[in-house]
Amino acid sequence: MKSRSRGEIKREVRVGHLWSGEALAVDAVVDFTLDHASDLLVTIDAPLWPDPPPAFPPGRVPELWRYSVAELFIWGGEERYLELEVGPFGHWWLLELLTWRERCREDLPCDVTVERGSSRWRAEVRIAEALLPPRPWRLGACAIWGGPDGRSYAMSHPSRGAAPNFHQASAFAPAW
């Protein structure tokens, strides 16, 4: 990982609960580390879920949330926010949304590298400064895994509603 430069800001976000509030086991948590100097470097450390990869080559895959994925939401306080989705097999999707869930741009670029171990995977994602919403940011993170017979939804800030909803304001941490 790169050395920290003057003016760089670092933040960690942990996905440690199911959407309904129950705590995840220690080996099931997903950690995000954000380093922001000019571009944003996002590091993801997550369990290697026993789910098959998407039937696509690694790279950009729209609607990756339909597969096992770790997601980061970056809201700039206005109506614009980014959603980053990364899977353990090198698939990713970066999109910009206006208001809650209204897609604006679905083909944003980023640099993604993924390494898998026997029980965990790690990704590094670089997002260009020009794509980032204005600061301060509110952050939300989640993880989705499991097949059609049973999906699990975990969040950094559980929604505790009738169903998982990663896009609601209460799912985002206070401004950073």
Average pLDDT over residues 148-155: 88
* Whole-prediction pTM: 0.89
How many whole angstroms separate alpha carbon 82 and alpha carbon 123? 18
Q: What is the mean pLDDT of the chain?
A: 88
Sign of CA dihedral 84, 73, 25, 144: negative
Go through 130-165 and write b for each residue having 16 or more CB atoms within 10 A of its CB, e for each that does not.
ebbbeeebbbbbbbbbeeeeeeebbbbbbbeeeebb
Greater model confidence, 104 or 16:
16
Predicted confidence band at 49 (pLDDT cuts at 50, 70, 90)? very high
CATH (residue range 9-55+67-164): 2.60.40.1190
DSSP label at residue 23:
B
What pLDDT, on the 0 to 100 scale, is given for residue 165?
64
User: What value does the mean pLDDT take over residues 165-170?
Assistant: 64
Q: Pick the range with the lowest mean pLDDT from 40-44, 46-50, 75-79, 99-103.
A: 99-103
Res 149 pLDDT > 70: yes
pLDDT of 101 strictly over 90: no
More confident residue, 129 or 9: 129
Q: The tokens of 121 are what? A: 């995977």
The ranges assigned to domains in the chain are 9-55+67-164
Predicted pLDDT at 5: 46
Which of 143, 151, 141 lies closest to 121 in space, CA to CA?
Answer: 143
Share of the chain above pLDDT 70, in %: 88
